[in-house]
Structure 1
Amino acid sequence: MKSAVETLDPTKVRLTVEVEYDELKPSIDHAYEHIAQQVVVPGFRKGKVPPRIIDQRVGRGAVLEHAINESLSGFYRQAVNETNLRPLGQPEVEVVKVPDVNETEGELHFTAEVEVRPEVELPELSGISLTVDDVDVTDEDVTERLDALRERFGTLVGVDRPATEGDFVVLDLSAKVDGEEVDTVSGVSYQIGSGNMLEGLDEALTGLSAGETTTFVAPLAGGEHEGKDADITVSATTVKQRDLPAADDDFAQLASEFDTLEELTADLREQVASTKTSNQAVQARDLLLAELTAGDVPLPAGVVEAEVVRHLEGENRLEDEEHRAEVTEQTNTALKNQIVLDILAEKLEVKVAQNELLDYLVNASRQYGMDPNTFIKTIDENGQIPAMVGEVARSKGLAVALRQVTVVDGQGNAVDLSEFIGSDEEDAADEVAEAAQDATTDESAPEESTTEADKA
């Protein structure tokens, strides 16, 4: 088989493929076998009709068409692998030449236009310097953490005054659209300032005392009339404030394993420092990604449009042009990041170990609230394992890259992120451990025991 690539633009190529008759013949033979199972010819058992009779009854053209349709995807994949292309979309295939129907020779020629991953030159990692925030733990940070802990042990007490931010209001609410009541709730407890119900509700409740009612206009957040402006009537049944326990040794003993408030605050200070150190790793990762994607990255328009349409169809918002613009921007960013991180992972020769993939899948199953085994089986059946491997490789590639750049804080001090991104020495140890495990694996184990994670 011969294949050649013509670049049409930075994200699209035309692949020309020439398949010799001998390479197509197995598919032709299989086509005869398949058609023999379908046709009924007097004097011949089903499945035993010879090719010459099939040529007479069905036509050799139909046989060739069956063989070509069956084998085309395989020849396309083979050509993609041989030419090292990275397709991002589905190809537009055109058959330009087929073997002569009257002869047992001739070649199959076809072209495939497909959007591919563009060539992108990444900056040298050794020349990148990232500046992250200092780990500066203030008394205010510790007080905020302590107050949050006190709130967990606080009690709600009714008050006879207008409601303010932070108060809890037990309310009744009704919504009308064009004069028709479309929703109503009663006895709901809502904290002013949480912003997790209707737009404008915080402002409407502020200043409202128990037994008072007010109205306002807001777009509905869900249901049949989602997005439509509604006339909202809200009544405050009760106003409550949260009373916090005193910050003393008794509270320390109630809320923690410590005997004194001093010990508790010291531990909270360490927690804040740990959180801010972790935030440095997240900040460094985001800064590095921004640095890597700062240059021009051509994006395949067809792939972007297909993803945008899929997203909008899922939300039944194909006609919402404003939302289309938002989704298009998000898709462009996500695809740009994916392209750059895939190139980075290949450049760094990142490999995904079985345990890394398994850890990722288990964590993903928790996010979806699914049993890990059920989740892994589902994505395997849907052919999504390769996509999961890609996600792990991108994340790992970014971590490996962070080890090769310079990371400093606002004072110019070097920042050690090895706790969060590992180290090259740890990778070497992992490789030795995996090699030792492979060496002790029972080679007589049945092949059927291999999982999809192993294959990945």
Structure 2
Amino acid sequence: MKTDVEELTPTRVKLTVEVPFDELKPNLDKAYKEISQQVRIKGFRPGRVPAPLIDKYVGRGAVLQEAVNDALPELYGRAVEESEIFVLGQPDVEVTELDDGQQFAFTAEVDIRPKFEVPDYDGLEVVVDTAEVDDEKIAETIDNLRERFASLTTVDRAAQEGDFATIDLAASIDGEAVADASTTGYSYEVGSGSSVEGLDAAVTGLSAGESATFTAPLPGGERAGEDAEITVTVQSVKVKDLPEADDEFAQLASEFDTIEQLREDVRTRLGRQVKLQQLSDARDKALEALLEKVEIPLPDKVVEDEINRRNQQFEQQLAMSGTTRADYLAEEEKSEEEFTADVEKAARLAVKGGFLLDQLAVQEELGVENEELSEYVVTQAMQMGVAPQQLAEYLTENNQLPAIVAEVLRNKALNLIVEHVVIKDEAGTTIDAAALQRELNGETVEVESEADAEAEVADEAQAIADADADAEAADEADAKAAEEANAEAAKKADAEDA
């Protein structure tokens, strides 16, 4: 087999492949056998029809076409391998010659990963935020935790910002009630702006039993967007009482005996998060800095596919959050054109970054061990909340393993870059990424926010509060009910630990 490669553009080639006809013999034999199973000729059983009769009644051309279709995938694959190119996507194939018994030739146009050299990255400098956890941030986290244990107390006064009012809402358009825009017993935080437009102004100043009417567009339902006359009636007004940040609160909200112990735990958790963020930022900035040093031509089709993937993901996120595209753009103060330009820019940067990491993996002869692949699958399964074996089977059945291998290789290539760059914080202190990684006890460098640390503390606090509630319920029940409650609490604790 002879293969010629013509470069159409830096990201697209045309392969011209010539194949001696003898190489098609296995495919011709297979074609005759399959057609023999399908045709019905008197005097011959299915599968026993001789080749000359198939040529006579079906036609040699049909047999050749069947053989060519069967041979093309393998021949194309061999041509790609011999040409040492990295193809992207499916090729446009055209049979250019089919001389029975003599010669077979075809061409294949396909996008390829562009050829380039990764620039030197040894000593490349990046700057990340300083890993500081100040007292203000700790206090903010403690205050958020106090919010989880706040109680509401009814007050005999008019509602004001920050209060929680229990309200009834009734809406009508042209005197006709709108059923799906009415509700009763709705607890609303005054001033939050989380409901219908104009509600905050209407509720402020109302006491229990008082009502107010205002006009506003309905935010949802069958008549969303239409102006309606809305009547709000206040049932009660409550204020939020926060527990004092003292030892008693620490014992209520955590496993610690004193508030100082709780503060130190929060400091440790937040400290781990900001250090993880440092490593994550270092990875991102190192790749960005390296990308600025090299020009890489990008195949239009690959960029287009990445744009489509991002748009589909965005639409799914909007659907899950119940937000419309128009509302999102209004909130972000962006036009449709600006949003489209941002998506395209991000897509092009992602494709370029992928190419660079792929090329670095080739240059450094990086590979993926089975243990690394298994570790990746286990990590992804934990994040998705599924069994690793279940995820592995899904990836195998859907032919996703090559993509996973590529992802692991890219991570290894990025880690290699980080090992060679100089990382400094804003204070000018040099950060040893490897030492920092060891300090974090092998924590994966995923983007985890400070809010995650707060949520982790809050979740533990809620678990303790739930356990306390279960204990109180058990004390009030008889012996049998208490035993059942304790068993249920144990099951719940096991589930939370898992």
TM-score by shorter chain over 0.5: yes
**Alignment partner, residue 303 of structure 1:** 302
| 1:124 pairs with 2:134 | no
After superposition, the Cα gap between the structure-2 partners of 1:218 and 1:392, relative to the gap in structure 1 and judged at 3 Å, is farther
Give the distance between the partners of 2:115 and 2:89, measured in 1 at CA. 16
Q: Deviations over 1:80-99 (max 9, x none)?
A: 12222222222111111113
Question: Which residue of the other structure, out of 426, 432, 437, is the alignment partner of 1:416?
Answer: 432
The superposition leaves residues 391-446 of structure 1 with CA deviations (integer Å, 9 ceiling, x where unpaired) of 222223212321111111122222122267569xx9xxxxxxxxxxxxxxxxxxxx
The residue type paired with residue 134 of structure 1 is T
C-alpha distance 83-39 of structure 1, shift in aligned 2 (>3 A): same
Match of 1:260 in 2: 258
Quote the Cα distance in structure 1 between the aligned partners of 2:53 and 2:286. Answer: 67
C-alpha displacement of 1:218: 7.4
Q: Structure 2: state its 5+ residue gaps.
A: 317-323, 325-334, 443-498
Give SS of 2:119's match: coil
Deviation, 1:236, is 6.9
Q: Distance in 2 between matches of 1:305 and 1:209?
A: 55
Whether the aligned pair in 1 keeps the contact of 2:165 and 2:189 (CA below 8 Å) is yes
Partners in 2 of 1:240 and 1:288 — Cα distance?
52
Change (3 A) 1:202 1:305: farther
Q: What's the CA shift string for 1:173-209, capped at 9, x where partnerless? A: 68899999595363554557878x6696897688475
Are residue 356 (structure 1) and residue 372 (structure 2) matched? yes
CA RMSD of aligned residues (A): 3.7
Greater shift, 33-42 or 341-350, is seen at: 341-350
1:61-81 superposed Cα distances (whole Å, 9 cap, x missing partner) = 111100111111121122112
Q: How does 1:407-446 map to 2 (within 5 A)?
A: 407-418=423-434
Call closer, same or farther: CA 1:14–1:137 in 2, change over 3 Å.
same
Match of 1:272 in 2: 270
> Normalization by structure 1: what TM-score?
0.77
**2:27 equivalent to 1:31:** no
> Which residue of structure 1 aligns with residue 465 of structure 2?
none
- Evaluate the alpha carbon distance shift between residue 259 and residue 231 of structure 1 in structure 2; reply closer, same or farther with a 3 A threshold: same
Q: Which position in structure 1 is the counterpart of 2:132?
A: 136
Work out the CA distance in 2 between the residues paired with 1:115 and 1:182. 57
CA contact (8 A) 1:3 1:15 kept: yes
Output one character per residue of 1:129-181: Cα deviation in whole Å (capped at 9) or x when no partner. 1111112222112211221222222223345444436x555566688999995
Equivalent AA in structure 1 for residue 298 of structure 2: L
Deviations 1:233-267 (A, max 9, x none): 58475554432211111122222232222222222
Partners of 1:12 and 1:207 lie apart in 2 by: 66
Mapped contact 2:32–2:63 kept (Cα < 8 A): yes
In structure 1, give the amino acid aligned to 2:358. D
Report if the CA contact (8 A) 2:147-2:242 is conserved: yes
Please identify, of 376-385 and 246-255, the stretch whose mean Cα deviation from structure 2 is larger: 376-385
Match of 2:453 in 1: none
Unaligned runs of 5+ in 1: 427-456
Amino acid at match of 1:30: K
Q: What corresponds to 2:248 in structure 1?
A: 250
**What is the letter of the counterpart of residue 243 of structure 2?**
P
Distance 1:10 1:271, change over 3 A: same
SS of 1:110's partner is strand
Indicate which of 338, 346, 349 corresponds to 2:354.
Answer: 338
CA distance change for structure 1 residues 311 and 415 in 2, over 3 Å: closer, same or farther? closer
Secondary structure in 2 aligned to 1:358? helix
Q: What is the TM-score when the length of structure 2 is the normalising length?
A: 0.72
Conserved 8 A contact 2:217-2:225: yes
1:324 Cα deviation from its structure 2 partner: 5.4
- What is the 5 A alignment of 1:137-152? 137-152=133-148
Name the amino acid aligned to 2:368: V
- Structure 1 counterpart of 2:400: 384
Q: Determine the structure 1 residue equivalent to 2:64.
A: 64
* Pair 35,193 (structure 1): closer, same or farther in 2 beyond 3 Å: farther
Question: Does the C-alpha gap of structure 1 residues 204 and 93 become closer, same or farther in structure 2, counting only changes over 3 Å?
Answer: farther
- Matched residue type, 2:3: S
Identify if the C-alpha distance between structure 1 residues 67 and 324 changes in structure 2 by more than 3 Å, giving closer, same or farther.
farther
Of 370-379 and 9-18, deviating more is: 370-379
Equivalence map 1:150-165=2 (5 Å): 150-159=146-155, 160-164=157-161
Residues 284 and 407 in structure 1, CA contact (< 8 A), matched pair in contact too? yes
Q: Aligned match of 1:396 in 394, 402, 412?
A: 412
Is the Cα contact below 8 Å between 2:16 and 2:108 reproduced in 1?
yes
After superposition, the Cα gap between the structure-2 partners of 1:274 and 1:79, relative to the gap in structure 1 and judged at 3 Å, is same
1:90 corresponds to which residue? Answer: 90
Whether the 8 Å contact between 1:312 and 1:324 is mirrored in structure 2 is no
Conserved? CA contact 2:302–2:351, under 8 Å: no
Counterpart of 2:16, as a letter, is: T
**Residue type matched to 1:56 in 2?**
K
SS at match of 1:23: helix
Higher helix share: 2
Count of aligned residue pairs for this structure pair: 413
Amino acid at match of 1:149: L
In the alignment, is the contact (CA less than 8 A) between 1:175 and 1:230 conserved in 2?
A: no
Q: In 1, Cα distance between the equivalents of 2:370 and 2:88?
A: 25
Q: Tell whether the 8 Å contact from 1:400 to 1:421 is kept in structure 2 after alignment.
A: no
